[in-house]
Amino acid sequence: MNEVICPSCAKPNLNNVDICQYCGTVLKRSSTEPLAPILPGDMPVESKTSDLESTLPGWLRNAHQASQEESDTPEISFPSGTPVIPANSAQPADPIKPESPRKKTPASPLDFLAGLSQVNDEDEETPDWMQGLQENIPAAQPEQPAQTGSDWGFGSGDQLFQFKDEPEPSQLADEESQADKSLGWLASLEAQDDPANATLVSKPPAAALPARDELPAMGDLPDWLSALTGGSSSQPDPAPSKPQPAGSEDAPDWLSGLGGDFIASDISPLSEPGPTPDAQAPDWLTRMSEPSGAHGTDAPAETDPGPDLPAWLGGRLSETAQPASEPQSPSVNSELFDWFNTAQDAPSAQAVLPETLAASAQEVPDWMRDLQAPASETPAMPVDDIPDWMTGLQDSVPLSASSEMPAAVQTPLEELPDWMRDLQPPSPVSAEPVAQSETPAVPVDGIPDWMLATTIAAAQPAPPTPPKPVSPPAGDLSFWLSEVTSKQPAASESEPARIFFDPQRTEQESAEETPTWLAGSGERLSTAASEPPQQAESVPSAQTGSGPLLLGSSDEQNIDSILAMETPDWLAGFTPSDAEKTAAKADERAEDLSLLPAELPSWVQAMRPMESVMADADDGQDEQLMENHGPLAGLRSVLPVQSGMADAYNSKPYALKLLADETQLAQAALLDNLLNSESTPQIAPSRAKLLSMRPLRWLIAVLLLLAVLIPAILKTQIFPVPSLPADASPAGAFISITTGLSSSQPVLVVVDYQPGFAGELEIASGPVIAQLEEKNVPLAFISTSPVGPFMIERLLKKYAGAYQLNKQYVNLGYLPGGAGGIKAFAEQPYSTVGHDTSLGNMWETPALAGATVNAATSLSNFGAVIVLTDNPDTGRLWIEQAQPSLKQAPMLMVVSAQAEPMIRPYMLSDQIKGLLAGLEGAAIYENQMGVAGGHGPRTYWDAFGMSMLAAELLILLGGAWGLITGLRARRTATEQDEA
Amino acid sequence: MLGAIQLDLVTGFLSFLFTLLILSYVVGDNAGFRLAIHAFVGVSAGYIVVIVLQQVIVDKMLLPLITGDILARVLSMFPLILSLLLLGKMSSRFEWLGRPVVALLVGVGTAAAVTGAVLGTLFPQVLAAGQLFDLHSSPSFGAVAGNLLTGIFALVGTIVTLAYFQFTVLSKNEASGRRGKMMSFFALLGQVFIAITLGAIFAGVLAAALTALVDRMQSLVSFVEVLLSTFTP
């Protein structure tokens, strides 16, 4: 089934989706899931590593996957009865259980973490790299005595690993005490880890670094180191056949060299070894340190391995350089363990004394078995296989003790690390012993940068770290070294910062916990404390390998140098074949750099619910948002991640481009231009121009007033009256019709003009009314304007003052209703108007007697209908509504001059029979009929003519001014364009 | 006689005064101009109310209702009822009562206007325009030619004027949004006709205004003459 049920919404999702499509919950976490933070005082919680596998960093999971892929390879079965490495020297050795076939030893030093994913408790108890140590032990190797392996830290380390699976709080203290106890031999390193002490360290780091690297080398010594041993053992070694001192008899050559090294260690007040109890330190180690003081005076030049060379390694070099048959210090060789002697004589002893081998196999620790196997089989290791740091030690460090380097163990410079290469002398290593009388200070120039950085970092006091049940990891350091690192702050807190070495403390701890050989190295370091600080600053301290100091001070250092410090060389070069794989997994190791200084090893983190140890713990915390408000405050990852929801609900993108062709776009552009032109603000004329118009207006007004007043006052008759029009003309037709009116038929006069136009229409209609008065034509007045009745009275008073109401004329009054009223009046005049409360029925008056024919009142009974109006619409209404009802009765119109253009077409259509327009028509009518008297159009004609002339001149002047202004503006614009 | 003269003098003085107040607008809006306007509007409104109340409500509705016969009373009831319903427009609560009345008024008025426009203007004008092209309308060739030219001129004027108001662009010129050459020429010619028409209207307006001005000036002169003749021996 390819569906994944969402844990939040319980809806099925496709298997290939990472985020729920419905609720946005993250279904798959490709990144490392963070663990709950471990706070100080929190007790570890037991959990299966398989469950915690998802919390591992990516590089660790990859390593695990790689190890799983290699699981198909043949596995090495561990022989039954193989003794287990004792956890503590005080504890009896527990026989190792017959194990089932185990996995192949991881090819990479990081592969020891691959077994974290397995549920097997045994795998959790013992890291793979530890298993590899056991697996590498040849089956023929005798079981190592429990007591011998306890001082090498592997047992303690194993114990510490078991401690991981025993998270009971009550046991933590015991375990910690045991760990401290088992790591007591590292007490001297604590002093070195002390930043205050580190500033005073004057001894070269080679004296301390190999001491730290020595421990894993014991468990699984690299080939180069194995070659050192094997080479000496593979060579015809007459040592077993020769009676040797105790030391030379029981210890291997290289270990014997250690003893010699310690013998050749510097004489210092602080180098005096304290009492070392045999119960906690192997005897051979104890003896290794004991004769150092004795031999220091005897042969300091021969035994001093140099300040840059660890004591054990210096001794080892001395051992390998010297002929195997060379007698060793009896005090050292005589006190070596038997198992060590067995290991030393393994190549030859296995062939000669198999029974002895079987017996010694029970005493040889696992790491020694692992060490002996390649030593016996591998030929002499060339100098190329020697680690760089070892090569550098051989050459550059002036060995105080004369050492004889065999040709087989010479390492070429190409494989040496840079910092070791610098330490190596330019001359090739010869097999002859090199005598060094004194140990010169290593120049600063010859120290790698990383060592300087660590030196500087070590010079700074480390911040005190609260004690924890489990010490935080120190990068890739193994746990036992991390334990040492964890104890570092305690030492710095309990002691003054400037005290480099406390003799009391050294004596006590070294006597209780520190192996003798390591105590010797510590002593030499302590001796170095008495040297000037310049030397101490010039050489890296022994603490450069400590994780916190290293990472805390050199985050930007070269990765390789950091890895060289974080990962012991013995572990990095665990097997010769691992060299290439180690280089291939350099990227994974580089990820270790991201670990914070005070963090546990990642494999430890995997077994514990800690998120702080994860490389991407911060990312996990970022993903798991903590609620800050509401009832869920303080909880983490309660609600689904918003980003996932946002991704899930992203809307589909739609194209916003309109599918419009060119025509539509052109039309849209045209519409846009129109709209823009509408919205474009019009430039308002400036106020100055408006002000300039007022005088002009005053000037025009004055001119017109003068043009009117002068003829009116002077009563001039300058302008001639218009001549008689033709009969076909509107005025001529009007005159003809009015001339033919009789007094028997009333004439209906419609007075529909406003008082404002009374001056024009009164003067225009005055001659007509006067003529009708002269002809005694009865008049009936009506108006569609409410002010019409008043205008009727005013007109009659001015031009027909002799007429009497209801005798010669009737005022039908106001005709309401507009077009409808006109229509009603035209069809039924009697019932519409003519009924007044005061005047009674006007249709029965003498003025309207002729309007009723055969008891029927109709407009057609009127002699004519004369419409006086200033509004063309009003005239049109009378034409449209009343004209059809007139039948044969003519309709005449006296209109204002402004209404003439609209009314004239009705004259051409013969809907109206005559038309008089304005003063001109009145003047024509007056001139023709000779009526109107002193109020006739002639009195107005000059004034009208003068004012019209003035107006025309002003119009011409204005037009000319406008033309000139326009031409100037155009010319100016043209000139500007040309410019 | 003296009273009539005095009345003419008073009315003549008021006419003179209000004429000057109206003409004072030449120098700008002022209180005298507004006073004259307000007086004119007030007098006109009062006069209109009196006229409407007397000649419409009383004479055309109440009088037939009171003094008329049964038919006249019944017929007078319709305008009375409709008028009362129309008064409902004064209140928003009874506004709906006046809607039928308003609908009736608008409907009747629109019907009359449309009918009058079609039958009184459109058809007669079309017939009149067509008669200009009637070669047999008159036996005189000159009259026929004159009518024909008039008709052609009117036709061209009508066409080009309508062409000027044709803003729709044909498909060929849609992209540019401009008229074609032919339509542009017609539109330009239409502009000429429109300009002539507007000029004629403006001339009529100017003539009417100057006539009114002349009348007012003449009234002032006459008032002064009467005043001088009255108070001078």
Contacts of A944 in chain B (CB under 8 A): 207, 210-211, 214
Rounded Cα–Cα distance for residues A478 and A186 (Å):
14
Task: Tell whether B83 is within 8 A of chain A (Cβ).
Answer: no
Residues 6+ apart with CB under 8 A from A260: A295, A302, A303, A315, A318, A319, A328, A329, A332, A401
Q: How confident is the model at residue A324 (pLDDT cuts 50, 70, 90)?
A: very low
Q: Do A898 and B207 touch (CB under 8 A)?
A: yes
Q: Which chain A residue is nearest to residue B197, measuring alpha carbons?
A: A901
pLDDT tens column, A407-457: 444 444 455 555 555 554 444 444 444 444 444 444 444 455 555 544 444
Residues 6+ apart with CB under 8 A from B7: none
- Give the model's pLDDT for residue A71: 57
The residue ranking higher by pLDDT, A953 or A849, is A953
Task: Tell whether B208 is within 8 A of chain A (Cβ).
Answer: yes
The residue ranking higher by pLDDT, A527 or B7, is B7
Rounded Cα–Cα distance for residues A562 and A555 (Å):
9
Is the model's pLDDT at B156 over the cut of 70?
A: yes
- Give the model's pLDDT for residue A893: 93
b/e code A505-537 from CB counts within 10 Å (16+ = b)? bbbbbbbbbbbbbbbbbbbbbbbbbebeeebbb
Q: Which chain A residue is nearest to residue B196, measuring alpha carbons?
A: A901
Single-letter amino acid, residue A365: P
Q: How far is B186 from chain A (nearest CA, A)?
A: 23
Q: How confident is the model at residue A584 (pLDDT cuts 50, 70, 90)?
A: low
Interface of B with A in 28-57 (CB under 8 A): 28, 40, 44, 47-48, 51-52, 54-56
Q: Do B48 and A786 touch (CB under 8 A)?
A: yes
Could you tell me the CA-to-CA distances from B30 to A531, B26, B41, B48 in Å, in that order? 115, 10, 17, 27
Average pLDDT estimate for A131-148: 45
Q: How far is A710 from chain B (nearest CA, A)?
A: 10
Tokens of B125: 């004008």
Is the model's pLDDT at A897 over the cut of 70?
A: yes
Tokens of A565: 């410090």
The residue ranking higher by pLDDT, A738 or B174, is A738
Q: Do B116 and A880 touch (CB under 8 A)?
A: yes
Q: Which chain A residue is nearest to residue B117, measuring alpha carbons?
A: A880
Using CB atoms, which residue from A819, A908, A940 is nearest to B214?
A940
pLDDT tens column, A211-261: 444 444 444 445 555 444 444 444 444 444 444 444 444 444 554 444 444
* Bridge partners, residue A751, by sequence: A868
Q: Do A901 and B221 touch (CB under 8 A)?
A: no
Instruction: Name which of B14, B83, B214, B217 to mutate to probe chain A: the one with the most chain A Cβ atoms within 10 A of its Cβ.
Output: B214
Q: How far is A743 from chain B (nearest CA, A)?
A: 28
Average pLDDT estimate for A286-312: 44
Contacts of B48 in chain A (CB under 8 A): 786-787
Q: Do A759 and B174 touch (CB under 8 A)?
A: no
Q: How far is A870 from chain B (nearest CA, A)?
A: 9
Q: Which chain B residue is nearest to residue A702, measuring alpha carbons?
A: B26
User: What does pLDDT average to over chain A?
Assistant: 62
Q: Do A940 and B28 touch (CB under 8 A)?
A: no
How big is the A-B interface in CB pairs under 8 Å? 170
Tokens of A509: 């701890």
Q: Do A911 and B200 touch (CB under 8 A)?
A: no
Is the model's pLDDT at A913 over the cut of 70?
A: yes
Is the model's pLDDT at A869 over the cut of 90?
A: yes
Using CB atoms, which residue from B109, B120, B216 is nearest to A880?
B120
Rounded Cα–Cα distance for residues A86 and A88 (Å):
5
Contacts of B214 in chain A (CB under 8 A): 708, 712, 759, 919, 940, 943-944, 947
Q: Is residue A41 helix, strand or coil?
A: coil
Q: Do B207 and A818 touch (CB under 8 A)?
A: no
Q: How far is A6 from chain B (nearest CA, A)?
A: 59
Q: How confident is the model at residue A327 (pLDDT cuts 50, 70, 90)?
A: very low
Q: Which chain B residue is nearest to residue A883, measuring alpha carbons?
A: B120
Q: Do A786 and B52 touch (CB under 8 A)?
A: yes
Give the residue among A117, A37, A42 at the shortest CA–CA distance from A618: A37
Interface of B with A in 135-164 (CB under 8 A): none
Rounded Cα–Cα distance for residues A85 and A129 (Å):
14
Give the residue among A448, A237, A227, A185 at the shortest CA–CA distance from A316: A227
CA angle A539/A540/A544 to nearest 5° reads 175
Q: Do A763 and B200 touch (CB under 8 A)?
A: no
pLDDT tens column, B28-41: 889 999 999 999 89
Give the residue among A541, A518, A595 at the shortest CA–CA distance from A265: A518
pLDDT tens column, A46-64: 666 666 666 666 677 677 6
pLDDT tens column, B66-79: 888 888 888 888 88
- Give the model's pLDDT for residue A17: 76
Q: Is B1 exposed, middle or buried (0-12, 13-18, 19+ CB in 10 A)?
A: exposed
- Give the model's pLDDT for residue A752: 92
Residues 6+ apart with CB under 8 A from A273: A289, A290, A292, A293, A510, A516, A519, A520, A523
The residue ranking higher by pLDDT, A658 or A72, is A658
Contacts of B61 in chain A (CB under 8 A): none
**ipTM confidence:** 0.88
Is the model's pLDDT at A376 over the cut of 80?
A: no
Which residue in this structure is represented by tokens 């163990």? A409
Q: Do A712 and B63 touch (CB under 8 A)?
A: no
Q: Which chain B residue is nearest to residue A940, measuring alpha carbons?
A: B214
- Give the model's pLDDT for residue A747: 92
Q: Do B112 and A756 touch (CB under 8 A)?
A: no
H or E segment at B222?
helix B181-231
- Give the model's pLDDT for residue A382: 46
